[in-house]
């Protein structure tokens, strides 16, 4: 069995008196696509934010690259974050900047590379997501699918080891969603990334998932391969994979 690249143990996260995550434990394995799914409000986004230390857990352990992140100092944690890319649900592109300049942001902030080398790296990433022609365009000039690909180019600008995607297919039509899934699969294999995706799009899950983590009311109901998820007798998971929505 491979060693996990992300390991969470007994994680508890609260907002005031309300417990959002209850003793969550899970493993994410290298060079796989792990899908985190569950109904709205089950704790998916909170889990990701705890892994990335955007929220500080109330208790429990989060290890990335076999290092405990909850006790890291800021310098060590920021160094580790440079190995993690993030694709936000709405893309989070800066509307006043061209696509070229949006993709340049992580390279300018986290490296000391020359302007020429940064420009070359940006164009390589834009070519990978089939957006070479859009480098001088503004986000408002792009379609929804093109915006997602531009945001993906920025997320992989630093060649991350781990890529985290929050609802990447949200707002896309089925054909564009399928094309984005194919691109994510291509990038995983080409860049040898570990990918964590928060989604409830059943078609996308069937296309891209290696493993499933199913959350319900802040608890892990199921963790295993896609094939195991399709065969499970856990009612909530079985219903989702049978009818494509939560019961």
Average pLDDT of 52-65? 93
Q: Are the C-beta atoms of 167 and 89 separated by less than 8 Å? A: yes
Q: What percent of the chain has pLDDT over 70?
A: 99
Domain ranges of the chain: 1-33+50-72, 82-209, 215-247
Segment holding 42, helix H or strand E: none
CATH of the domain spanning 82-209? 3.40.50.300
Name which of 44-48, 134-138, 199-203 the model is least confident about.
Answer: 199-203
pLDDT band at 26 (very low <50, low <70, confident <90, very high): very high
Report the distance separating Cα 149 and Cα 146, nearest Å.
5
At residue 78 the predicted structure's pLDDT band, cuts being 50, 70 and 90, is confident
Tokens of 230: 């399709």
159-188 pLDDT tens trace: 999 999 998 988 889 999 999 999 999 999
Residue 41 has pLDDT above 90, yes or no: no
Cα separation, 115 vs 165, whole angstroms: 28
- pLDDT attached to residue 88: 84
* Segment 204-247, tens digit of pLDDT: 999 999 999 999 999 999 999 999 999 999 999 999 998 877 75
Per-residue model confidence as pLDDT tens digits over 113-167: 999 999 999 999 999 999 999 999 999 999 999 999 999 999 999 999 999 999 8
pLDDT > 90? residue 92: no
pLDDT in the model for residue 190: 93
Do 48 and 198 meet the contact criterion of CB atoms below 8 Å apart? yes
Cβ contact 188:203 at 8 Å: no
Mean pLDDT of the chain, nearest integer: 92
Residue 237, pLDDT score: 93
- What's the pLDDT at 201? 87
């Amino acid at each position: 069995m491979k060693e996990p690249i992300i390991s969470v143990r007994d994680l508890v996260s609260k907002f005031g008196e309300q417990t959002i995550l209850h003793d969550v434990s899970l493993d994410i394995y290298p060079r796989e696509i792990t899908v985190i799914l569950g109904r709205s409000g089950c704790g998916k986004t909170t889990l990701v934010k705890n892994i990335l230390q955007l929220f500080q857990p109330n208790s429990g352990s989060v290890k990335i690259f076999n290092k405990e992140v909850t006790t890291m100092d800021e310098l060590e944690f920021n160094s580790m974050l440079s190995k993690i890319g993030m694709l936000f649900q709405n893309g989070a592109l800066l509307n006043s900047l061209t696509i070229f300049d949006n993709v340049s942001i992580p390279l300018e902030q986290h490296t000391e590379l020359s302007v020429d080398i940064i420009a070359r790296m940006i164009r390589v990433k834009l070519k990978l997501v089939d957006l070479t022609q859009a480098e001088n365009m503004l986000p408002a000039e792009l379609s929804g699918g093109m915006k997602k690909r531009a945001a993906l180019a920025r997320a992989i600008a630093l060649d991350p080891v781990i890529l985290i995607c929050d609802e990447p297919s949200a707002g896309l039509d089925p054909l564009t969603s399928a094309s984005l899934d194919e691109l994510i699969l291509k990038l995983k294999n080409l860049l040898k990334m570990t990918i964590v995706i928060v989604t409830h799009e059943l078609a996308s899950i069937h296309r891209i998932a290696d493993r499933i983590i199913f959350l319900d009311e802040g608890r892990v109901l199921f963790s295993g391969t896609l094939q195991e998820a399709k065969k499970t007798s856990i009612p909530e998971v079985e219903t989702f994979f049978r009818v494509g929505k939560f019961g």
